[in-house]
Structure 1
Amino acid sequence: MVAPLIDPRIKLRHLVCFIEVARLKSVVNAAQVLHISQPAASKTIQELEQVLGGNLFDRSKRNLFLTPFGEVFYRYASTSLAALRQGMDAARDTHEATIVRVGALPTVSARLLPDAVKAFTATGSGVHTRVITGPNDHLLTLLRTGDVDFVIGRMAEPDAMVGLSFEHLYSERVVMVVRAGHPLLSERRFDLSMIEPYQTLMPTPNSLIRRLVDRMLLTHGITKLRDEVETISDAFGRAYLGQTDAVWIISEGVVARDLEQGRLALLPVDTSETIGPVGLTMRTDTASTLAADSLKQAVRDIAARLR
Structure 2
Amino acid sequence: MLNARIKLRHLQAFLEVARHRSFARAAERLAITQPGMSKTIRELEESLGASLFERTPKGVALTQAGLTLLRHAGPAMRALEEGVAAVGDAHRGVRRLRVGALSTVESRLLPEAIRRWHAEPGGQNDVGVHVVSGSSAFLLSRLRRGELDLVVGRMTEAREIRDLTFEHLYYEPLLLSVRSGHPLAAISPLDPARLGDFPWVLPPPQTTLRQQVDSFCVRHSLVLMSQRLETLSLPVSRGYTLESDAIWVAPEEAIAEDLAAGRLCRLSVDLESQGGSVGLCFNASMQSSLALEEFCEVLREVAAGMMLERSTT
Same fold at TM > 0.5? yes
**Would you identify which runs of 4 or more consecutive aligned residues in structure 1 move more than 6 Å?**
none
Matched, 1:84 2:80: yes
1:219-298 matches, within 5 Å, as: 219-273=219-273, 275-298=275-298
Conserved 8 A contact 2:156-2:276: no
1:227-251 deviation digits (Å, cap 9, x = unpaired): 2322111121012113321112132
Conserved 8 A contact 1:150-1:281: yes
Instruction: Specify whether residues 34 and 202 from structure 1 end up closer, same or farther in structure 2 by C-alpha distance, changes over 3 A only.
Output: farther
Identify the residue that residue 200 of structure 1 maps to in structure 2. Answer: 200
Q: Secondary structure at the match of 1:184?
A: coil
Counterpart code for 1:277: S
1:83-122 matches, within 5 Å, as: 83-92=79-88, 93-95=90-92, 98-122=95-119
Instruction: Specify whether residues 105 and 95 from structure 1 end up closer, same or farther in structure 2 by C-alpha distance, changes over 3 A only.
Output: farther
Instruction: Specify whether residues 158 and 231 from structure 1 end up closer, same or farther in structure 2 by C-alpha distance, changes over 3 A only.
Output: closer
Could you tell me how far 1:105 is from its partner in structure 2?
0.8
Conserved 8 A contact 1:102-1:132: yes
Identity over aligned pairs, percent: 38
Counterpart code for 1:113: L
Q: RMSD over aligned Cα, in angstroms?
A: 2.7
Matches of 2:164 and 2:218, distance apart in 1: 32
Identify the residue that residue 55 of structure 1 maps to in structure 2. Answer: 51
Identify the residue that residue 144 of structure 2 maps to in structure 1. Answer: 144
1:274-301 deviation digits (Å, cap 9, x = unpaired): 6111111112123321111121111111
Counterpart code for 2:48: L
Matched, 1:161 2:158: no
- Please, which moves more after superposition, 235-244 or 155-164? 155-164
Counterpart code for 2:107: A
Conserved 8 A contact 2:15-2:70: yes
Q: Which consecutive unaligned segments of at least 5 residues does structure 1 have?
A: none
1:104-163 deviation digits (Å, cap 9, x = unpaired): 111111120111111111025322222221111221222223322211112344753344
In the alignment, which of 56, 68, 74 is matched to residue 70 of structure 2?
74
Q: Secondary structure at the match of 1:295?
A: helix
TM-score when normalising by structure 2? 0.84
Matches of 2:149 and 2:45, distance apart in 1: 30
Conserved 8 A contact 1:178-1:266: yes
Could you tell me how far 1:252 is from its partner in structure 2?
2.2
Conserved 8 A contact 1:178-1:248: yes
Conserved 8 A contact 1:98-1:291: no
Conserved 8 A contact 1:111-1:256: no
Conserved 8 A contact 1:216-1:273: no
Matches of 1:263 and 1:13, distance apart in 2: 55
Matches of 2:106 and 2:128, distance apart in 1: 17
1:51-80 deviation digits (Å, cap 9, x = unpaired): 433332331333533222222122122232
Equivalenced residue count is 303
